[in-house]
Amino acid sequence: MLFNSYHFILVFLPVALAVFVVLRSRGKISWTFNWLVVVSVFFYGWGNWSNLWMIGESMVVNYLIGTQLGRMEPGSRNSRWLMRLGVTANLMFLGYYKYADFFVNNVRAVFGCHWPELNVILPIGISFYTFQALTYVVDSANGQTRGYNFRDFCLFITFFPHLIAGPIVHHGEMMPQFRREHRQWVDWADVAVGITMFVFGLAKKVLIADQFARWATPVFNAAQTGATPGFGAAWVGVMAYAMQVYFDFSAYSDMALGLARLFGIKLPINFNSPYKARNIAGFWRRWHMTLSRLLREYLYIPLGGNRHGTARRYVNLMATMLIGGLWHGAGWTYVIWGGLHGVYLSTYHAWSAWRARRGRASDDPRLAGLWTGRLITFVAVLVSYVFFRAASEAAAFKLVGSMFGLNGFSFASTDIPLATAAWASAAMLPVVWFLPNTHEMLACYQPALEYTAGTDKVGLAPTPAWLGRRLEWHPTVGWALVLAALMVASILGLSRVSEFIYWQF
């Protein structure tokens, strides 16, 4: 079930929230969370009820392994073996459903075999809930998960606002919130904040992201079918996709946090204006922040991080980003995308180290340095998007070639309104570079959990001073009218099914 569908907005969400409010107001605290498990399972099974067997088996197995690990001495031999078994089981589960056909196709291509494709249907959200279960097993082995019951674990995995496309939550962030039995009333401030974030997200998806998709898709489709987009069409198509994926993921993140807040739950921030980053490391501290956290804490650091010398650090960075790319999809385009970001990060850290040896800051603190870094980062991300979006390596390289003038410098295009798409993309740049994002606009109401990335606190920042208080949200009549207008416009714009980009992972 899509967040941006009539079924969800007009039926599922009102019923789920109404029953929750009634149970909460009558003091049935435990039943409110039981109800959330029920509606979350229904939400997940709506598209394909057979998926419930897979997520159910995953939850039972991981909870049993986690519970047994919680009874063992952390670090003991038996604990380590059981943890490895749990991690292996999760990886095999994910590997079969997501990568089996990818493996078969590559074996056929390399060895000329005639193995038939397995045609495995990828269960929606499997990458997200498998990674959450995997981290639960690892943390159980470290003695961090004792005392959780199966209901809490089920809700931790299936809670519908984050189930399909994140944020990838940590049990320590979620399960304590399921135990706040002292709250026997509905906090209407939560409801107001939740509705606001949901409507902002819905408007971003329907009114902005889906419009840019209409300009980006024809360019990528043309490259896939053998055509060679010109210089202008290539750049405009990729720019349009950059705006599509930005507002699409920003929309989903807002809607996920808003939906959770309607039920009194705070999720961690997962999207924090990544195009404002002045370097590629800053981009990854702002883009899919919970995935970056997971890759850092459960892959990069266990591999050794930066503790074993410069060369090993770059190897660990490359390995982490290649695996992160493959996590996004079973295709070489995703591997190349991850590899590009590994090269970007290694290059940035090498540059920072070179400047540090000369007594300079890693980034030029001057305004010119800020914008130079921001523009270089943005262009590097644009190039990587080609591989993230393209359906094949050949189409991706064809588009990149056009972007760098290898196929001429033509600005002609018959597939999309080139000038309109170019002006629209250019008009969005001040929005993504200067305006506060949703959680900054609602900072006074603490719309999400505070998220700490390394030593940098990323989260509940105040609205930028130069905007004063003009864009801060408050429960006023003016903002109510704005939200009503956005909601009506978004509902009227729901003319076709449009999945979120990250739902395919």
Give, for 157, the enclosing helix (H) or strand (E).
helix 150-158
Are 182 and 209 contained in the same domain?
Answer: no
End-to-end CA distance of the chain: 15
CA distance 57 to 7: 27
- The tokens describing 359, both together, are 């007594």
Peptide bond into 462 cis (omega under 30): no
Number of Cβ within 10 Å of residue 410's Cβ equals 14
Nearest to 326 by CA among 131, 59, 153: 131
Q: What is the pLDDT of residue 109?
A: 81
Number of Cβ within 10 Å of residue 182's Cβ equals 6
Are 245 and 264 contained in the same domain?
Answer: yes
| Residue 87 belongs to some domain of the structure | yes
Cβ neighbours for 295, distance < 8 A, ≥ 6 positions apart: 320, 323, 324
Domain final position from 186, 207, 229: 186
Looking from the CA of 454 toward its CB, the CA atoms found within 13 Å total 13
Instruction: List the chain pLDDT tens, one digit each, 505 residues.
Output: 889 899 999 999 999 999 999 998 888 888 888 999 999 999 999 878 888 999 999 999 999 999 999 888 888 889 999 999 999 999 999 999 999 888 888 888 888 777 787 888 888 889 999 999 999 999 998 888 877 889 989 999 999 999 988 799 988 888 888 776 555 567 888 899 999 999 999 999 999 999 999 999 999 999 998 888 889 999 999 999 999 999 999 999 999 999 999 998 999 999 999 999 999 999 999 999 999 999 999 999 999 988 888 899 999 999 999 999 999 988 999 999 999 999 999 999 999 988 888 888 777 777 777 889 999 999 999 999 999 999 999 999 999 999 998 887 777 665 678 888 999 999 999 999 988 899 888 988 888 886 333 333 444 444 455 554 678 888 889 999 999 999 999 999 887 767 888 877 7
| Residue 459 belongs to some domain of the structure | yes
| Residue 345 belongs to some domain of the structure | no
Per the CB < 8 A criterion, the answer to whether 269 and 289 are in contact is yes
The SS3 assignment for 458 reads strand
CA distance 16 to 9: 11
Peptide bond into 464 cis (omega under 30): no
Domain final position from 167, 186, 205: 186
| Residue 119 belongs to some domain of the structure | yes
Are 497 and 465 contained in the same domain?
Answer: yes
| Residue 65 belongs to some domain of the structure | yes
| Residue 137 belongs to some domain of the structure | yes
Q: At what angle do helices 150-158 and 29-45 cross, to 10 degrees?
A: 40
| Residue 357 belongs to some domain of the structure | no
Domain final position from 156, 186, 216: 186
CA distance 405 to 399: 10
* Residues facing 287 on adjacent strands: 271
Point out the residues that are catalytic.
328
Per the CB < 8 A criterion, the answer to whether 194 and 260 are in contact is yes
Are 159 and 242 contained in the same domain?
Answer: no
Are 430 and 482 contained in the same domain?
Answer: yes
Are 144 and 31 contained in the same domain?
Answer: yes
Are 23 and 87 contained in the same domain?
Answer: yes
Are 93 and 41 contained in the same domain?
Answer: yes
Are 135 and 14 contained in the same domain?
Answer: yes
443 DSSP assignment: G
Q: Which domain holds residue 449?
A: 190-278+409-504
CA distance 215 to 227: 16
CA distance 105 to 502: 24
| Residue 225 belongs to some domain of the structure | yes
Q: Three-state secondary structure along 66-126?
A: HHHHHCCCCCCHHHHHHHHHHHHHHHHHHHHHHHHHHHHHHHHHHHCCCCCCCCCCCCCCH
Are 86 and 232 contained in the same domain?
Answer: no
Q: What is the pLDDT of residue 415?
A: 67
Are 16 and 108 contained in the same domain?
Answer: yes
Domain count, the chain: 2
Are 228 and 177 contained in the same domain?
Answer: no
